[in-house]
Amino acid sequence: MKKFKILFLILFLTNLLNAQKKEIRSEKIDAYKKIYITDKLNLNSENESKFWIVYNNYQDSLRVVYRIKRLKYRKMNLDSSNISDLEHKQFIDDFLDYEKKKIDLRAKLIADLKEFMSLRKTVYLFRIEDDFRKEMMKKIISSKEGKFKIKSENN
């Protein structure tokens, strides 16, 4: 029984440390994304603060919607052999609902940004997001150990 408790404690601490590493990695990515987007959009100080309030609300809402979708998808994958046609139909409906929510969130983002930012910069934002994703994928893939490292332009 004592060995079981020690093993459980070791596994718990290992899991906790890995979760903290992922959180740090996520914080690094978010910080780099903020610098990247701010620089590329060339926002002035007044618009920068407004932009990040609106954009962070959009990102948070998107994460919530994605998390809900992921939980439903995970449930579907865990036991896909015993799923009825009705459950498949529900999954498709849920997926379409997720996609609609993403579009609605994007429309709200555009409407909110129109109040203080040009449409040209708003359209450019979407291209910047795609470029940022591509750049991050290259960094992750090129990392030798599979660990995420952000290298500055000066290195």
Query: What's at 101, amino acid-wise?
Result: K
Q: Using CA atoms, how far apart are residues 25 and 34, in angstroms rounded to an integer?
A: 14
Q: With a threshold of 0.95, does the pTM exceed it?
A: no
Q: What is the pLDDT of residue 15?
A: 61
Q: Using CA atoms, how far apart are residues 90 and 72, in angstroms rounded to an integer?
A: 10
As averages over each run of 10 residues, the pLDDT of the chain (155 residues) reads 57 54 71 92 90 96 92 71 80 91 97 94 95 88 60 49
Q: Which two tokens stand for residue 66?
A: 């994605």
Taking residue 148's Cβ as centre, other Cβ atoms within 10 Å add up to 17
Q: What is the pLDDT of residue 117?
A: 93
